[in-house]
Amino acid sequence: MKRLSIAVLPGDGIGPEVIAQAVRVLEAVGERFDLCFEFARYPIGAAGVALANDPLPAVTRNAVVHSDAVLLGAVGDPALDGAPRELRPETGLLALRKLLKVYANLRPVAMRPALLAASPLKADRLHGVDLLVVRELTGGLYYGEPRGRNGTTAVNTLVYTTAEIERVARVAFAAARDRKRLVTSVDKANVLEVSQLWRETVTKIARDYPDVRLEHAYVDTAAMRLVAEPASLDVVLTENMFGDILSDEAAVLAGSLGLLPSASLGPGPGLFEPVHGSAPPLAGRDVANPIGAIATVALLLRHGLRLAEAADAVDAAIAAALDAGARTRDIALPGEPSIGTAEMGDRIVEHVFSGAVEGLA
Ligand code: IPM
Ligand code: MG
């Protein structure tokens, strides 16, 4: 049996708790589908700083590049808010993305029928919401040089090359082919030169995908459309910073940030992490929602390991647990009973196995 090595980076805050449930689900999937996963845990973020004074310690760096996929919890710790940039947990995450060259970040947001009432938007706006944010992840303002501070002046640089735009655009168009065949490319081309290059380049790449419709939207309009008519969107393609902001906004539609997964893809092993952060106030209390991390496992199986059937089984188990009424605190309606992180994991694991039985019937 082929061994699949998964580098597990639990990180900070609620990261370890939600990742523990995600790993249990992967183990269940391994049993059901006869797959041999090997898990090895490595520090990142504040955990890396505590252990090795480095938010991305060398041991982690060496391990991830040799793995088949990387599963990450979350990074961030308020205790390091004032730390110099090289000791900040977020710096470890940015360095990891760069190391793995994961330039395309996929953040799917779909409305789960069982959770319509958990969304702050009115139900009529939510019908048919099923979108995918494709965020460029290794360029733009996050990485541009020069950057720094000098007394009362600070600078960051927004820079993109045609090649960087082309490769992420191709990911978006290819994804749209399996969906509703619409790409909305988001920029600020009425102001920024970088956005003008973005728009030109995406338009050029679109010619290779004549079966996919391309539209352009300014980022401010896109932000409005996301809440005013979210069902009109399919694939939203955008640069790093805009994608960071719009993906949190899109997450609200689903009812809770705790539900959403992400996949970051490049030429080597992919990086898979829930969209939510380390949520320090929730840490260690068994209240965090593990569904984001477990849905991330489905993306890891689908995009990282090309095991579509196993990925479908995880998605089905999440849906079944929700349909059966399992709710963590963040998605429970007022008065509705809720369960903890580990129990939500239990319920989903049960459905991974009962799905196998139904599959036989
Ligand atoms: C995200 C997060 C990160 C980002 C932070 C933690 C650096 O907000 O993954 O969206 O800005 O990319
Ligand atoms: Mg973010």
Cis peptide leading into residue 337 (ω within 30°): no
Q: What is the fold, at CATH topology level, of the domain defined by 1-102+265-361?
A: Isopropylmalate Dehydrogenase (3.40.718)
**Residues of the chain scoring pLDDT < 50:** 361
Best mutation site among 81, 90, 156 for ligand 1, i.e. most ligand atoms within 8 A of its Cβ?
Answer: 90
Return d(Cα 240, Cα 94) in angstroms, integer.
11
Find, among 325, 328, 322, the residue nearest to 287 by Cα: 328
Q: What is the fold, at CATH topology level, of the domain defined by 120-254?
A: Isopropylmalate Dehydrogenase (3.40.718)
Q: What pLDDT sits at residue 136?
A: 98
Q: What pLDDT sits at residue 74?
A: 98
Which residue type does 152 have? Answer: T
Which pTM value belongs to this model?
0.96
Same fold, 1-102+265-361 and 120-254: yes
244 alpha carbon – ligand 1 mean position (Å): 6
Q: Which numbered atom of ligand 1 lies nearest the CA of 273?
A: 9
* Residue 147 in tokens: 């950057």
Which residue type does 153 have? Answer: T
Residue having the nearest C-alpha atom to atom 5 of ligand 1: 90
- 77 CB within 6 A, ligand 1: no
Cα–Cα distances in angstroms (integers) from residue 246 to residues 27, 28, 108, 126, 190, in the given order: 33, 34, 12, 17, 19
pLDDT digits (tens, 9 = 90+) for 18-71: 999 999 999 999 999 999 999 999 999 999 999 999 999 999 999 999 999 999
Residue having the nearest C-alpha atom to atom 9 of ligand 1: 275
Q: Which residues are catalytic?
A: 142, 188, 220, 244, 248
Domain assignments of the chain as residue spans, ordered by start: 1-102+265-361, 120-254
Return d(Cα 166, Cα 150) in angstroms, integer.
35
Best mutation site among 244, 249, 257 for ligand 1, i.e. most ligand atoms within 8 A of its Cβ?
Answer: 244
Q: What pLDDT sits at residue 229?
A: 96
Q: Which residues place a Cβ less than 5 A from the ion ligand 2?
A: 244
The four Cα atoms 116, 117, 123, 129 give a dihedral, to 10 degrees, of -30
